[in-house]
Amino acid sequence: MRRIESDADITEGLAALAATDRRLQRIIDEAGPIPLRRSPPGFAAMVSIITAQQISRASADAILGRFSSLVDPLDPESVLACGDEPFRAAGMSRPKQTTLTALARAVIDGQLEFSQLADLSAGEARAKLTSIHGIGPWTADVYLLIAAGHVDVFPAGDVALQGAVADALGLDSRPSSKELTVIAESWSPWRSVAARLFWAHWRKWRGREAAPTIDAVD
């Protein structure tokens, strides 16, 4: 299955998007560099994404740094064995603790194998991830895009992407997740590159980075 592995893949995807949707050429020209945004796949990468849910990047980085220093190695066995104190000391919320515990159990029980996610279709991989308590579509899509390298994933629930698409395409209002999913369908099979493009547009427009990152600790 095709994956995004290099800057050359980004270049190819941008050319295909511009040929498919003429509105995008101006956005490509104005956005500046489009980062590859790839991180090593695996359990630690998903821990990073879950930690970052609904909080600022600075807060997520601080919490993940504390947690990974308290739970070392950061693997499913250690997460299940560590008890409540490392979560409290790191500042991890109770719902995120519950999600990370469910994730660790799913890996140990064989319900989830990260090595398989890159080879499944986006729909199959998303279903695998969202079957775990606490992992929703945004979390699954960000993992598939950044860690697994899927070529055709668009995290329509991402608020920055919603705002960037509205501004770049001159929409009257920020689209909902469902509305953005429909808009992005025309960018298949390069939706993962389209997401990177609109994150770059947000950075140019708002003067700050909004794209999610994975600070995986191996």
**In this predicted model, what pLDDT tens digit does every residue of 33-89 receive, in sequence order?**
999 989 999 999 999 999 998 888 889 899 999 999 999 999 999 999 999 999 999
The CATH code belonging to domain 7-37+152-206 is: 1.10.1670.40
User: What are the pLDDT digits (tens) for 148-195?
Assistant: 999 999 999 999 999 999 999 999 999 999 999 999 999 999 999 999
Superfamily designation of domain 43-147 = Hypothetical protein; domain 2 (1.10.340.30)
CA distance 47 to 43: 6
Decide: 4 and 193 in contact? Cβ < 8 Å.
yes
- Residue 1, pLDDT above cutoff 90: no
SS3 breakdown of the chain: % helix, strand, coil, rounded to 5?
60, 0, 35
DSSP state of 84: S
Decide: 90 and 82 in contact? Cβ < 8 Å.
no
Give me the mean pLDDT over the 117-137 stretch.
Answer: 95
Question: Within the chain, which residue ranges are assigned CATH 1.10.340.30?
Answer: 43-147
- pTM of the prediction? 0.93
Lookup: tokens for 118 = 């890159």
User: From residue 86, how far is each of 52, 61, 129 by CA, in Å?
Assistant: 17, 16, 25
Question: Within the chain, which residue ranges are assigned CATH 1.10.1670.40?
Answer: 7-37+152-206
Average pLDDT, the chain: 94
- Residue 201, pLDDT above cutoff 80: yes
Residue 218's pLDDT is what? Answer: 40
